[in-house]
Amino acid sequence: AMFATTAAACPAQYPLRRAPSSCRRGRRADSRARRGVALSASPEPRVLAHPMSFPPEMRTAVEAVQLASRLCMATQDILVGDDRTAKSDDSPVTVADFAAQALVGLWLERSHPDIKLVAEENADALRVAEGASLSSRVTSLVNETLASAMEDGFIESGSITIPITDTFVWDAIDRGAGSPSGDGAFWILDPIDGTKGFIAGRQYAVALGLMVNGSVCGGVLGCPNMPQDVIPEDATFIPPQRPGTVFAAYEGNGCVAFPADAKDALHSEKNITPIRADSFASPQTARYMESWGDSVVANGDKTALLAKALGITRTAVRVDSMAKYGALARGDADLYLRFPPKKYREKVWDHAAGVAVVEAAGGGIT
Pairing of strands 185-193, 245-250: unpaired
CA distances from 335 to 4, 88, 152, 267 (A): 7, 33, 39, 32
Alpha helices (H) in the chain, listed in sequence order: 56-79, 92-111, 124-127, 132-151, 166-174, 195-200, 300-310, 323-330, 352-360
Answer left, alpha or beta for residue 331, where phi above 0 means left and psi between -120 and 50 means alpha. Answer: left
Instruction: Yes or no: say if 116 and 180 are a contact pair by the CB < 8 Å rule.
Output: yes
Length of the chain in residues, anyone?
366
Give the SS3 label for residue 245: strand
Alpha-carbon span 5 to 339, nearest angstrom: 6
**Of the listed 75, 94, 97, 303, which one is catalytic?**
97
**Of the listed 5, 94, 139, 195, which one is catalytic?**
195
Instruction: Yes or no: say if 1 and 328 are a contact pair by the CB < 8 Å rule.
Output: yes
Based on the residue annotation, tell me whether 195 is a catalytic residue of this protein: yes
Q: Looking at the annotation, which residues are catalytic?
A: 97, 195
